[in-house]
Copies of this chain bind each other. A is one copy, B any other.
Amino acid sequence: MARPRTPLLSPDRIRDAALTLIDAQGLAALSMRRLADTLGVQPSSLYSHYATKDEVLDAVANRVVREVDTSGFARGWRDGLLIWARSYHSVLVAHPNCAPVIASGTQRREQFLEMANSVHGGLVGAGWPARRATEISGAVKYLVIGAASTPFGSGFADDVQVYLDRYPHLSQAHRLRHEANRIDHDSFELGLTSLIRGLEPGPGQTE
């Protein structure tokens, strides 16, 4: 085959296929060869649309982060932070295999800058000094990224009994392996609400 009459590929099609592959098979399963396979195409053809694999991953990251809701700051900075953080968190929970891509991503990606800009603006608009706004949004981001990067759910060995005598304090936590998702969610919620509650004293002017 040479050039087809109607294009087989497009940046969006490739990006979506990559996301589907990552969601279904994991980040390690994404290779240009496999990606090309699912699109019915040779690997080298992908390079007509993306210069490198990293660019594909950037597109995937942008696609995922695009879903994050930063509109809550109209209802005050506390609600704004809560809505943003929960939205960000739930988006990453929906695409857990993308977490490393999002986490390690450079701040160069457009959707990330868009999001950071909205959050920062929301905080400054509510009266926080710029520097403090940066720190607050940074701290909340850390919480979101951390929650997505090291879930309880992934990881514990299947034979729980092994630990019980060696790590006595963990026995309670381990019993709950099947409740890992709930633990993850509750830990994140506790961290988020506590962090926001603990911010002092709050911006003076607008509330």
Question: Chain A residues in contact with chain B, CB under 8 A?
Answer: 100, 103-108, 113-114, 116-118, 120-121, 124, 130-132, 134-136, 138-147, 149-150, 152, 154-157, 163, 166-170, 172-173, 176, 183-184, 186-188, 190-191, 193-200
Q: List 26 A-B contacts (CB under 8 A).
A: A100-B100, A100-B103, A103-B103, A105-B150, A105-B155, A106-B157, A113-B167, A120-B170, A124-B172, A130-B172, A134-B173, A134-B183, A134-B187, A138-B187, A138-B191, A139-B188, A139-B191, A142-B188, A144-B146, A145-B146, A145-B149, A145-B150, A146-B146, A197-B198, A197-B200, A198-B199
Taking CB atoms, residues of chain B closer than 8 Å to A163 are: 113
